[in-house]
Amino acid sequence: MRILSDGVRAIIYASGFIAFFWWLALNISRLDQTVAGRLPSWTEIPGTILMIAGGILALACVGVFVVRGRGTAAPFDPPQRFVAIGPYKFVRNPMYIGGLAMLLGFGLYLRALSVLGFTAMVGFVLHLFVLYFEEPDLERRFGSSYLDYRKRVNRWIPRWR
């Protein structure tokens, strides 16, 4: 019953985050009509591929958090157990990477330079969030197991060992 409850909450939260950022991206893309112009049409295919790949990665992370972590990916409803399996074996922030890939892909699909700039800004803000909130919080909650993990696994660029 707990997994079902966590799963429903996780799907609601993830859907809300995706809808919010896509709504922002759609509104920001309107700037391209007046300021920046559009990317070439061939960017739609790589954009679609990035959206799908990022979505699969993000969903895999949500699943690991629900099943193994006993919680959701939302900062206000975090996992109760430390998670270092699945995508988290390779990089410490795969969910953010998946979300940024979806947003970048959406920008390419829309052919919107403004959305690419927005994606870069979101990535910068996420990096600051990870440095100044998330990592200290994980260290406080999970102690030495998180510190050992942090030594073995990179924050953003995977190690393929």
Q: How many domains does the chain have?
A: 1
Per the prediction, the chain carries an average pLDDT of 89
Dmax over CA atoms of the chain, in Å, equals: 52
The angle subtended at Cα 11 by Cα 15 and Cα 149, nearest 5°, is 105
**Does residue 116 belong to any structural domain of this protein?**
yes
Q: Phi and psi (nearest 5°) for 19?
A: -60, -40
**Does residue 160 belong to any structural domain of this protein?**
no
Any idea what the CATH number is for the domain that residue 124 is in? Answer: 1.20.120
**Does residue 161 belong to any structural domain of this protein?**
no
Say what the pTM is: 0.88
For the residues 62-91, what does the mean pLDDT come to?
A: 85
- Cα dihedral angle (100, 105, 107, 111), rounded to 10 degrees? 160
Output the pLDDT for position 41: 93
Domain that holds residue 6: 2-152
47-67 tens-digit pLDDT: 999 999 999 999 999 889 888
Residue 46 and residue 32: Cα distance in Å, rounded? Answer: 19
**Does residue 157 belong to any structural domain of this protein?**
no
pLDDT beyond 70 at 146: yes
pLDDT beyond 70 at 155: yes
Confidence of residue 93 (pLDDT cuts 50, 70, 90): very high
**Does residue 158 belong to any structural domain of this protein?**
no
The angle subtended at Cα 91 by Cα 90 and Cα 93, nearest 5°, is 145
Q: What is the CA radius of gyration of the chain?
A: 17
pLDDT beyond 90 at 101: yes
**Does residue 64 belong to any structural domain of this protein?**
yes
Output the pLDDT for position 39: 87
| Cβ-based neighbours of 5, under 8 Å, separated by 6 or more | none
pLDDT beyond 90 at 78: no
Output the pLDDT for position 161: 66
pLDDT beyond 90 at 123: yes
**Does residue 159 belong to any structural domain of this protein?**
no
2-47 tens-digit pLDDT: 777 767 887 888 888 888 888 988 888 888 777 667 889 999 999 9
